[in-house]
Amino acid sequence: MSELVPYVDLKGQHAELKEEILEAVAGVIDRGDFVLGESVRKFETAFAELCGSKFAIGVNSGTDALILAMRALGIGEGDEVITPPNSFVGSTSAIIVCGANPVFVDVGEDRNIDPNLIETAITPKTKAIMPVHLGGIPAKMEQINAVAKKHEIAVIDDCAQAIGSRYDGQPVGSLGDISCFSLHPLKNLNACGDGGMITTDDEKVVEEIRLLRNLGLKDRNTCVHWSGNSRLDTIQAAILLVKLNHFERTASGRQSIATYYMDALANVSQVRLPVVDEASEPVFHTFVIQVDDRDALKNYLLERGIKTSIHYPTPIHLQPVAEDLGYGEGSFPVAERQAKDILTIPGFDGLTREQMERITQSISDFYNR
């Protein structure tokens, strides 16, 4: 009987770091600086360095990172933001929560927004393009930035799944005007709870976001904006500093899993592998293959004790909540076809060689049965 291959293993990941994490938490408790404390500042500095950006600001989630980035640019009621329809729902929710309208543009074979389709979607109301580096594969930022520059609109990239990835040698987080990250437990650099980061080189934006994340308070007694509370917890920042010390290993572990899959599945002609262009060096968040008989393969793997996932089975424009947006079946043929064909196979840090072999062998057995 095959041993189960889980889809993720958070317990395993934390077993090794537990002592170090508990020590970091104890440090915060001893200092008592629970709100915007020393560890938040330290983590912001270290994160900016990792991303090759001038500034990083800690916030409470990836979703709030996106919301604050847009609010810092004054994006709101009546404005339009261009984004792909195949992301996690958070990218689009952030646009709506700001009061703006999402304008979807279909994706390419790399599953990222198709830069050639962006220009026709731009109207006088367009304020920003929000590409998503889906699964860790960087979007075509050179072309996206060029279109944005030409039309004098901003690029806010959703980097939630792409920490550590590089494009043209530059780290994700240094590619757009404002870059937004999630530190959710399932992301590649993960808190023990929620967290998010924003990186940018624009000092004005930084000042604005620091106000917006903290109820618009300039100092304890002076409020200059109506805003909520989106602060990153000091305890999470302390934990994240521990994780960051090990991140290089996490990232290279994920990269070698991807390399293994790319090689091992290259000969299975029914499997379409992730499309990565020459300029990109992804740290995969999800390793997504595409096959015609996805559900049958998924079930076959499950029968053999291998858990897989789908990111994401329903494109955002076809969600019940999106009915008002005026899109429907057929609006984005590429994203819709991919939603039927995609399958995410386990790629977590800590996956063993034996487990990877089991996965790739089972996939090829499925097609030889």
Ligand X SMILES: *Cc1c(COP(=O)(O)O)cnc(C)c1O
The residue range among 39-47, 77-85, 87-95, 221-229 that interacts with ligand X, by the rule CB under 6 A, is 87-95
| 300: nearest Cα among 217, 368, 199 | 368
To which residue do tokens 């009987």 refer?
1
| d(C-alpha 354, C-alpha 363), whole Å | 14
Alpha-carbon Rg for the chain in angstroms: 21
| d(C-alpha 174, C-alpha 45), whole Å | 14
Q: Which is nearer to ligand X, 78 or 313 (CB)?
A: 313
**Identified binder of ligand X from the candidate list 88, 261, 312, 348, rule CB under 6 A:** 88
Interaction between residue 111 and ligand X (CB under 6 A):
no
Q: Min. distance of Cβ 24 from ligand X in angstroms?
A: 21
**Identified binder of ligand X from the candidate list 21, 43, 48, 61, rule CB under 6 A:** 61
**Identified binder of ligand X from the candidate list 87, 179, 200, 290, rule CB under 6 A:** 87
Q: Min. distance of Cβ 146 from ligand X in angstroms?
A: 23
In the chain, the amino acid numbered 358 is R
Q: Which is nearer to ligand X, 178 or 297 (CB)?
A: 178
The residue range among 6-14, 57-65, 252-260, 270-278 that interacts with ligand X, by the rule CB under 6 A, is 57-65
To which residue do tokens 């072309």 refer?
143
Q: Min. distance of Cβ 329 from ligand X in angstroms?
A: 23
3-class state of residue 55 by DSSP: strand
Cβ atoms of 176 and 201 closer than 8 Å: no
In the window 141-160, what residues touch ligand X (CB under 6 A)? 158, 160
| d(C-alpha 76, C-alpha 70), whole Å | 8
In the window 158-197, what residues touch ligand X (CB under 6 A)? 158, 160-161, 182, 184, 194, 196
| Residue, CB closest to ligand X | 62
**Identified binder of ligand X from the candidate list 91, 174, 214, 308, rule CB under 6 A:** 91
**Identified binder of ligand X from the candidate list 56, 73, 132, 235, rule CB under 6 A:** 132
Q: Which is nearer to ligand X, 210 or 311 (CB)?
A: 311
- Strands 222-223 and 217-219 turn out to be antiparallel
Buried b (16+ CB within 10 A) or exposed e, 295-320: eebbebbeebebebbbbbeebbbbee
Q: Min. distance of Cβ 90 from ligand X in angstroms?
A: 3
Please give the span between the terminal C-alpha atoms of the chain, in angstroms, as a whole number.
Answer: 19
Q: Min. distance of Cβ 338 from ligand X in angstroms?
A: 15
Q: Min. distance of Cβ 299 from ligand X in angstroms?
A: 26
Residues that bind ligand X (rule: CB under 6 A) add up to a total of: 15
Tell me the backbone φ, ψ of residue 266, rounded to 5 degrees. Answer: -60, -30
According to DSSP, the residues that pair with 198 across neighbouring strands are: 57, 180
To which residue do tokens 């899109």 refer?
327
| 229: nearest Cα among 35, 94, 99, 95 | 35
Q: Is-cis flag, bond preceding 312, omega within 30?
A: yes
Query: Which residues have CB under 8 Å from 30's CB, separation 6+?
Result: none
**Identified binder of ligand X from the candidate list 90, 131, 138, 164, rule CB under 6 A:** 90
Q: Min. distance of Cβ 161 from ligand X in angstroms?
A: 5
In the window 224-243, what residues touch ligand X (CB under 6 A)? none
Q: Which is nearer to ligand X, 179 or 355 (CB)?
A: 179
Q: Which is nearer to ligand X, 158 or 233 (CB)?
A: 158
Contacting positions for ligand X (CB under 6 A): 61-63, 87-88, 90-91, 132, 158, 160-161, 182, 184, 194, 196
